[in-house]
């Protein structure tokens, strides 16, 4: 429990991948013990592979998706193990950061 | 070799990596034609084929005899080969380093095999084949609902199999029981444990899992569909990849331990020489002769086969671009709306081209091409019951959910009552049929009546179909059914306007509306055909397109939607009526679905349009009947009757050709292609570059319809070049398995791709195996922008999965892989070639047969 805010420390993992890889990433979340996640479909941006258009009129699978999950620190190693292996061959980016939540029981 | 223990999360990623080479097999109810190598598209086509050759044993390039026959027939020439060889000498800057095979022939690639397969190779055993038999047996039982052991914790395949296999003598013979006790946990844990027992490093683990998937590729492809493409709430048992691979690995581990396999570095298998992979065969260089033959002789088989394929494709490309460049086909002003009886929007499907051409020949119609779901990604619950239909390309998730209702409540109630009674009878028959004694009684009692019916159905299929329709109409009277545009999942007025606007802008129909605009979907009526949905509309998720057309037409006619469209700059005149229709591609009949209320003027106009659609269909029937095996060449009326009979024939394995011979996608105004017989080989997507300055419409077309067209083209391509691995085999001996696929014969693996009868006539391919040619009418700079900001398009274009050409500045340009354009010139400088009638590929027409006099039998 963080004394200043009365919040519990957790780890937030954010992944941006092609929409067609979103299912595998959420499978990884589940296997790592996550009980929930957030997915944002059709995100746009620019990366080392160039520009990526956002929403495509007739294709949901080949636009980028942003997936976010919050886990207790103990579960993060297992998740990163899978994500690193996936991203060794698939385009995508991974961000890991400390975060705080008010209702830790929702994330365990 | 460094080995490690994998976490369960790591296993999920390993399975994903290992199964990228595995195709996806959709269930038969929605048999989507997909590129089997789609998940390898981050590699070039050449590299992907080489990878799949090693993993799956495919060849991936056209057979030598097909190319040799084409050469002898003039379907490809020395000039085509020389041009392809020149391209090889001056590569166009591909995005990845490609091996250029020259000099001494490269050794054939070694096949990727599992540890158990290697053991079999060493010992001459057949344990891997025995495991396959067991795994296939349990997969079929699981999907057929036969493993539902009560009291089992978990409904997954691994759990259900564990519970069932303990009583299986085959499992005891394979020594499975010890392994079952020793390896516990969920599928990811099981996979991790077995990989550790086999002492595999990460690369070895991926190869082992790929090899496991390739053993029964059809079952793996079904599991991949379930894990990666099916909606999470899709009904029925879910055979997931991790469960499937876990079960396979447990069998293999048991077999290996029983055989005394020592795992680890230096173990029994490491020194084995893997079996050689499949290498493409090419026509002998002597067939070509001269300098081109000499140059071909210096290439290894893979490189030479790639040159032959490129030449084969270039010949078609040059013919198509030449015919599009002729003065008669230069863009001219479209007909004025006042001169039109209707504008007709058809699906981009190649089969629509014939209907459009014959309809336009009357001079009273302007036609457009657009994906057959008309831009409305809908999940529809059919009025007659059953599962919901996702009426959109599988690349899209439905965003609206609708029900259907009958126009008249009483008629709807009568139909529902009739359907309920029929369902009761059907259930009773099924129950009786499955009973050990009752089944004999059923045969004895019903055989008297059903026997003559079977004779009638065989001898006079069209008469039988009419009789059945008549009986069904009395038991469950048809009702006029239409989708309901209200309810919890229905789109708002704004959403409806957006759907309509997107469709109209994408196809370039934003003004000049005719009094009638027909939205014409398509479907195919066939009998006793497990692959029937493969003949329906791919843009509607392999379903009939009539419902999508009705949805789009209903939205387009609503006053609220028209007002919103006007506010967005698209003014549809009040007198313009949108009407839905459906083209039956098996019979070439067109059914029109008029709105419930019509003014007398509208009714008169629609009657004329309906008559003209029927006439165009009849002309198309004559044209199409000439290409169907066993068809009788007859005048107009006879051809239509023949197609109707063929469609109703339960013994007919070639009811229509579907999308065979598809070769190109043309994205541009119809004025470029109008009046040209494209021989039902081109997808046609309407596009007006003048109304799309930012390229948004072009982007929608190249990321959606182009991908769908590429999938279809690739599915047909591989069904011809790799019929044993990526084709579905002979329809005659198909057996349907739990509604998900077919066996060839009594058991084994599910078949992938298209049946042999869909792409071959006898031993000769009817479909010409080529990569899709995409011709876009747009400024090159705009095309480049769309390619650059959409990785999926860049992969397809730069990886040479498709060939891209643009019509710009009044000329055609070929896009070089990796970027840049080269102006296309008609290389056929010889007067004979230029003067000859252009045939788009090798012409195909069946030899006329005498028929039997009786129109019912097709011979």
Nearest CA in chain B to A79: B9
- Whether B665 is in a domain gets the answer no
Q: What is the pLDDT of residue B263?
A: 58
Q: Give B621-627 contacts, CB < 8 A, sequence gap 24+.
A: B621/B587, B621/B588, B623/B354, B623/B358, B624/B354, B624/B588, B624/B656, B624/B657, B624/B680, B626/B845, B626/B846, B627/B657, B627/B844, B627/B845, B627/B846
Q: What is the pLDDT of residue A96?
A: 97
Confidence check: pLDDT of B101 > 60: no
Domain boundaries, position A30: 8-107
CATH number for the domain spanning A84: value is 3.30.70.120
Of B566 and B846, which is predicted with more confidence?
A: B566
B117's CB contacts (< 8 A; 6+ apart) are B128, B211, B215
Q: What is the pLDDT of residue B97?
A: 39
Domain boundaries, position B292: 31-97+284-325+704-840
Nearest Cβ partner of A61 from B16, B375, B395?
B395
A104 CA: distance to closest CA in chain B (Å): 23
Residue B704 to residue A59, Cβ atoms within 8 A: yes
Chain A CB contacts of B12 under 8 Å are 24, 27-28, 31, 82
Q: Domain boundary at B456, B478, B500, which?
A: B478
Report the percentage of chain B scoring pLDDT > 70.
89
Q: Are residues B244 and B166 in the same domain?
A: yes
The Cα–Cα gap between B132 and B651 comes to 32
Tell me which of A25-29, B322-326, B587-591, B808-812 is least confident. B322-326
Q: Domain boundary at B424, B446, B478, which?
A: B478
Residue B704 to residue A83, Cβ atoms within 8 A: no
Mean pLDDT for all residues in chain B: 88
A10 CA: distance to closest CA in chain B (Å): 19
Residue B12 to residue A28, Cβ atoms within 8 A: yes
Confidence check: pLDDT of B850 > 50: no
pLDDT confidence of B278, banded at 50, 70, 90? low
Q: Are residues B169 and B38 in the same domain?
A: no
The whole-angstrom distance between residue B581's C-alpha and the CA centroid of its chain comes to: 23
pLDDT confidence of B845, banded at 50, 70, 90? low
- Whether B543 is in a domain gets the answer yes
Q: What is the pLDDT of residue B481?
A: 86
Count the domains in chain B. Answer: 4
The answer to whether the Cα torsion of B437, B440, B441, B443 is positive or negative is positive
User: What is the tens place of the pLDDT at every residue in B377-414?
Assistant: 999 999 988 889 999 999 999 999 999 998 888 888 88
Q: What is the pLDDT of residue B828?
A: 66
What is the 8-class DSSP label of residue B733? G
Q: What is the pLDDT of residue B447?
A: 75
Confidence check: pLDDT of A55 > 90: no
First CA to last CA across chain A, in angstroms? 15
- Whether B489 is in a domain gets the answer yes
- Whether B668 is in a domain gets the answer no
Q: What is the pLDDT of residue B695?
A: 94
pLDDT confidence of B831, banded at 50, 70, 90? very low
Q: What is the pLDDT of residue B854?
A: 38
Q: What is the pLDDT of residue A3?
A: 61
Q: Does B791 touch chain A (CB under 8 A)?
A: yes
Confidence check: pLDDT of B269 > 80: no
Helix (H), strand (E) at residue B49: helix B45-56
Residue B10 to residue A79, Cβ atoms within 8 A: no
pLDDT confidence of B98, banded at 50, 70, 90? very low
Mean pLDDT over B486-499 rounds to: 94
Count the domains in chain A. Answer: 1
The Cα–Cα gap between B680 and B663 comes to 9
- Whether B267 is in a domain gets the answer no
Chain A CB contacts of B227 under 8 Å are 23, 27
B78 CA: distance to closest CA in chain A (Å): 40
Residue A85 to residue B10, Cβ atoms within 8 A: yes
Q: Are residues B552 and B530 in the same domain?
A: yes
Q: Does B705 touch chain A (CB under 8 A)?
A: yes
Contact at 8 Å (CB) between A78 and B9? Answer: yes
Q: Does B506 touch chain A (CB under 8 A)?
A: yes
- Whether B84 is in a domain gets the answer yes
Nearest Cβ partner of A24 from B16, B397, B790?
B16
What is the 8-class DSSP label of residue B532? G
Ranges B3-17, B248-262, B605-619, most confident? B605-619
Q: Are residues B138 and B201 in the same domain?
A: yes
User: What is the tens place of the pLDDT at every residue in B660-699?
Assistant: 999 999 999 999 999 999 999 999 999 999 999 999 999 9
User: What is the tens place of the pLDDT at every residue in B733-769?
Assistant: 999 998 899 999 888 999 999 999 999 998 999 999 9
Q: What is the pLDDT of residue B77?
A: 94
Closest alpha carbon to B371 in B516, B500, B525, B538:
B538
Tell me which of A9-13, B107-111, B152-156, B729-733 is least confident. B107-111
pLDDT confidence of B819, banded at 50, 70, 90? very high
Q: Are residues B78 and B142 in the same domain?
A: no
Q: Are residues B448 and B534 in the same domain?
A: no
A-B contacts (CB, under 8 Å): 102
Confidence check: pLDDT of B204 > 80: yes
Nearest Cβ partner of A32 from B9, B202, B502?
B9
Ranges B27-31, B112-116, B162-166, B709-713, most confident? B709-713
Q: Are residues B93 and B133 in the same domain?
A: no
ipTM of the complex: 0.91
User: What is the tens place of the pLDDT at every residue in B636-665?
Assistant: 678 888 899 999 988 899 999 999 999 999
Nearest Cβ partner of A57 from B11, B704, B791?
B704
Nearest Cβ partner of B10 from A59, A82, A91?
A82
Q: Are residues B383 and B484 in the same domain?
A: yes
Q: What is the pLDDT of residue A8?
A: 93
Ranges B84-98, B633-647, B700-714, most confident? B700-714
Three-class secondary structure assignment of A1-52: CECCCCEEEEEEEEEEEEHHHHHHHHHHHHHCCCCCCEEEEEECEEECCEEE
Structure tokens, A93: 């980016």
The Cα–Cα gap between B743 and B200 comes to 33
User: What is the tens place of the pLDDT at every residue in B502-513?
Assistant: 999 999 999 999
- Whether A98 is in a domain gets the answer yes
B703 CA: distance to closest CA in chain A (Å): 6
Structure tokens, B235: 């009904």
Closest alpha carbon to B121 in B250, B261, B19:
B261
Nearest Cβ partner of B502 from A51, A57, A86?
A57
Confidence check: pLDDT of B704 > 90: yes
Report the percentage of chain B scoring pLDDT > 90.
69
Confidence check: pLDDT of B551 > 50: yes
Q: What is the pLDDT of residue B1?
A: 46
Q: Are residues B506 and B357 in the same domain?
A: yes
What is the 8-class DSSP label of residue B227? I
- Give the SS3 label for residue B734: strand
Chain B CB contacts of A18 under 8 Å are 791
Chain B CB contacts of A53 under 8 Å are 699, 703, 789-790
B449 phi and psi angles, rounded to 5 deg: -85, -40
Q: What is the pLDDT of residue B105?
A: 44
Tell me which of B135-139, B169-173, B592-596, B719-723 is least confident. B169-173
Q: What is the pLDDT of residue B271?
A: 37
Chain B CB contacts of A58 under 8 Å are 371, 375, 393, 395-396, 700-701, 703-705
Q: What is the pLDDT of residue B277?
A: 53
The Cα–Cα gap between A59 and B792 comes to 10
Q: Are residues B372 and B433 in the same domain?
A: no
Contact at 8 Å (CB) between A108 and A13? Answer: no
Residue B395 to residue A91, Cβ atoms within 8 A: no
- Whether B265 is in a domain gets the answer no
Strands B389-391 and B378-381: antiparallel
Contact at 8 Å (CB) between B844 and B661? Answer: yes
Contact at 8 Å (CB) between B139 and B215? Answer: no
A 36-65 residues with CB below 8 A of B?
Answer: 49-53, 56-62
User: What is the tens place of the pLDDT at every residue in B314-357?
Assistant: 999 999 999 998 765 555 667 788 889 999 999 999 999 999 99
């Amino acid at each position: 429990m963080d004394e200043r805010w009365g919040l519990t420390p957790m780890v937030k993992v954010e992944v941006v991948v092609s929409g067609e890889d979103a299912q595998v990433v959420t499978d990884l979340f589940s296997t790592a013990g996550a009980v929930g996640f957030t997915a944002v479909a059709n995100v746009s941006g620019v990366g080392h592979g160039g520009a990526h258009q956002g929403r495509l009129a007739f294709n949901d699978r080949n636009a980028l998706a942003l997936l976010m999950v919050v886990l207790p620190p103990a579960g993060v190693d297992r998740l990163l193990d899978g994500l690193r292996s996936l991203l060794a061959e698939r385009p995508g980016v991974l961000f890991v950061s400390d975060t705080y939540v008010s209702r830790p029981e929702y994330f365990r | 070799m460094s080995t490690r223990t994998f976490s369960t999360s790591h296993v999920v990623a390993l399975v994903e990596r290992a199964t990228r080479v595995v195709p996806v097999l959709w269930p038969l109810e929605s048999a989507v034609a997909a590129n089997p190598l789609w998940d390898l598209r981050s590699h070039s086509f050449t590299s992907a084929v080489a990878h799949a050759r090693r993993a799956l044993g495919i060849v991936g390039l056209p057979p030598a005899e097909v190319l040799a026959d084409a050469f002898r027939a003039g379907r490809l020439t020395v000039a085509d080969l020389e041009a392809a060889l020149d391209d090889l000498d001056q590569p166009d800057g591909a995005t990845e380093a490609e091996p250029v095979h020259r000099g001494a022939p490269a050794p054939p690639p070694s096949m990727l095999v599992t540890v158990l397969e290697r053991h079999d190779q060493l010992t001459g055993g057949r344990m891997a084949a025995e495991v396959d038999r067991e795994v296939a047996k349990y997969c079929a039982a699981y999907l057929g609902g036969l493993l539902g052991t009560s009291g089992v914790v978990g409904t997954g395949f691994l759990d259900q199999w564990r519970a069932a296999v303990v009583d299986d003598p085959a499992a005891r013979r394979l020594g499975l029981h010890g392994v079952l006790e020793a390896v516990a946990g969920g599928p990811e844990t099981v996979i991790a444990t077995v990989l550790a027992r086999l002492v595999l490093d990460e690369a070895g683990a991926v190869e082992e899992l790929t090899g496991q998937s390739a053993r029964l590729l059809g079952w793996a492809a079904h599991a991949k569909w379930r894990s990666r493409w099916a909606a999470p709430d899709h009904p029925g048992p879910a055979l997931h990849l991790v469960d499937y691979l876990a079960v396979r690995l447990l069998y293999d581990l048991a077999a290996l331990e029983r055989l005394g396999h020592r795992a680890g570095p230096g173990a029994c298998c490491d020194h084995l020489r893997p079996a050689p992979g499949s290498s493409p065969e090419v026509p002998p260089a002597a067939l070509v002769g001269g300098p081109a033959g000499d140059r071909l002789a210096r290439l290894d088989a893979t490189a030479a086969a790639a040159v032959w394929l490129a030449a084969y494709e270039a010949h078609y490309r040059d013919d198509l671009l030449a015919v599009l460049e002729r003065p008669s086909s230069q863009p001219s002003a479209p007909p004025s709306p006042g001169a039109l009886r209707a504008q007709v929007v058809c699906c981009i499907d190649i089969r629509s081209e014939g209907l459009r051409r014959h309809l336009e020949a009357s001079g009273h119609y302007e036609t457009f091409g657009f994906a057959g779901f008309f831009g409305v990604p809908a999940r529809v619950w059919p009025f007659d019951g059953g599962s919901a239909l996702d009426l959109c390309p599988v690349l899209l998730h439905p965003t609206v959910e609708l029900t259907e209702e009958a126009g008249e409540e009483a008629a709807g109630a009568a139909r529902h009552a009739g359907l309920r009674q029929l369902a009761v009878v059907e259930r009773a028959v099924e129950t009786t049929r499955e009973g050990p004694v009752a089944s004999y009684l059923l045969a004895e009692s019903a055989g008297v009546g059903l026997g003559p019916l079977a004779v009638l159905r065989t001898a006079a299929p069209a008469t039988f179909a009419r009789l059945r329709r008549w009986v069904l109409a009395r038991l469950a009277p048809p009702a006029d059914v239409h989708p309901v545009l209200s309810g919890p999942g229905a789109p708002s007025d704004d959403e409806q306007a957006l759907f309509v606007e997107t469709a109209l802008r994408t196809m370039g129909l934003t003004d000049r509306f005719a009094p009638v605009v027909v939205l014409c979907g398509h479907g195919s009526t066939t009998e006793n055909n497990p692959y029937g949905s493969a003949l329906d509309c791919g843009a509607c998720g392999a379903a009939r397109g009539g419902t999508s057309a009705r949805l789009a037409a209903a939205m387009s006619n609503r006053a609220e939607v028209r007002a919103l469209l006007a506010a967005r700059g698209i003014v549809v005149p009040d007198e313009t009526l949108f009407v839905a229709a459906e083209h039956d591609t098996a019979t070439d009949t067109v059914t029109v679905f008029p709105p419930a209320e019509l003014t007398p003027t509208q009714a008169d106009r629609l009657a004329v349009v309906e008559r003209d659609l029927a006439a165009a269909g009849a002309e198309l029937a004559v044209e199409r009947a000439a290409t169907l095996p066993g068809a009788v060449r007859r005048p107009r009326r006879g051809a239509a009757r023949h197609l109707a009979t063929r469609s109703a024939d339960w013994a007919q394995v070639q009811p229509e050709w579907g999308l065979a011979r598809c070769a190109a996608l043309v994205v541009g105004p119809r004025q470029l292609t109008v009046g040209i017989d494209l021989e039902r080989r081109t997808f046609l997507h309407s596009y007006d570059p003048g109304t799309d300055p930012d390229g948004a419409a072009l982007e929608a077309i190249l990321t959606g319809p182009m991908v769908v067209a590429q999938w279809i083209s690739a599915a047909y391509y591989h069904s011809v070049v790799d019929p044993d691995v990526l084709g579905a085999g002979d329809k005659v001996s198909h057996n349907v398995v739990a509604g998900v696929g077919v066996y060839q014969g009594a058991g084994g693996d599910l078949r992938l791709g298209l049946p042999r009868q869909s792409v071959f006539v006898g031993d000769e391919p009817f479909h010409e195996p080529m990569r899709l040619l995409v011709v876009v009418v747009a400024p090159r700079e705009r095309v480049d922008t769309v390619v650059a900001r959409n990785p999926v398009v860049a992969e397809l274009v730069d990886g040479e999965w498709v060939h891209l050409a643009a019509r710009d500045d009044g000329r055609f340009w070929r896009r070089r892989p990796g970027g840049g354009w080269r102006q296309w010139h008609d290389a056929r400088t010889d007067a004979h070639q230029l003067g000859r009638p252009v045939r788009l590929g090798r012409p195909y027409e069946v030899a006329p047969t005498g028929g039997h006099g009786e129109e019912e039998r097709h011979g």
